[in-house]
């Protein structure tokens, strides 16, 4: 038997998600890699820095969602001012803070409020009645 889904707790967790530091690293063969200091197994890639950043946000959102559903504790993000660049980081590396996509996470976890009615429902309602 699986544990009961506590959607209210999930909603609170999603709403309180902080930004996480990410190191964007240029790769020697081209492209970029995103490394998360607080989420050791999580990485993302992209052909350019913007694609890498977008993929990193998606990866972060998915990872945090998985942890919320599993009931795992979320890691506390490091203070970016206290992170020290490694000697092996290539020139052009950049430390950024990324926010997870809360709206996407709410949708994936079924936490969105569903609209009742709306313009389309009103239109269908008028045409469907005699």
Q: What does the pLDDT read at residue 115?
A: 55
Q: What does the pLDDT read at residue 117?
A: 52
Cβ neighbour number for residue 105 with a 10 Å cutoff: 22
Report yes or no on 40 lying in a domain.
yes
Mean pLDDT, contiguous 10-residue spans, the chain (130 residues) = 66 92 95 95 96 97 93 91 79 93 90 61 47
Q: What does the pLDDT read at residue 118?
A: 52
Q: What does the pLDDT read at residue 109?
A: 85
Report yes or no on 105 lying in a domain.
yes
Tally of domains in the chain: 1
Report yes or no on 1 lying in a domain.
no
Q: What does the pLDDT read at residue 6?
A: 80
Range of the domain at 43: 7-128
Report yes or no on 93 lying in a domain.
yes
The CATH number that applies at residue 14 is 3.30.160.250
- Chain centroid, CA 96 distance in Å: 14
């Amino acid at each position: 038997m699986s544990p009961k889904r506590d959607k209210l707790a999930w909603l609170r967790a999603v709403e309180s998600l902080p930004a996480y530091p990410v190191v964007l690293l240029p790769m020697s063969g081209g492209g970029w890699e995103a490394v998360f200091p607080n989420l050791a197994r999580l990485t993302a890639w992209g052909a350019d820095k913007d694609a890498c950043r977008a993929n990193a946000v998606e990866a972060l959102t998915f990872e945090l969602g998985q942890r919320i559903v599993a009931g795992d504790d979320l890691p506390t993000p490091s203070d970016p001012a206290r992170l020290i660049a490694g000697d092996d980081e290539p020139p052009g590396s950049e430390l950024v803070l990324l926010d997870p996509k809360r709206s996407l996470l709410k949708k994936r976890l079924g936490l969105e409020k569903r609209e009742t009615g709306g313009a389309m429902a009103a239109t269908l309602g008028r045409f469907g009645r005699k």
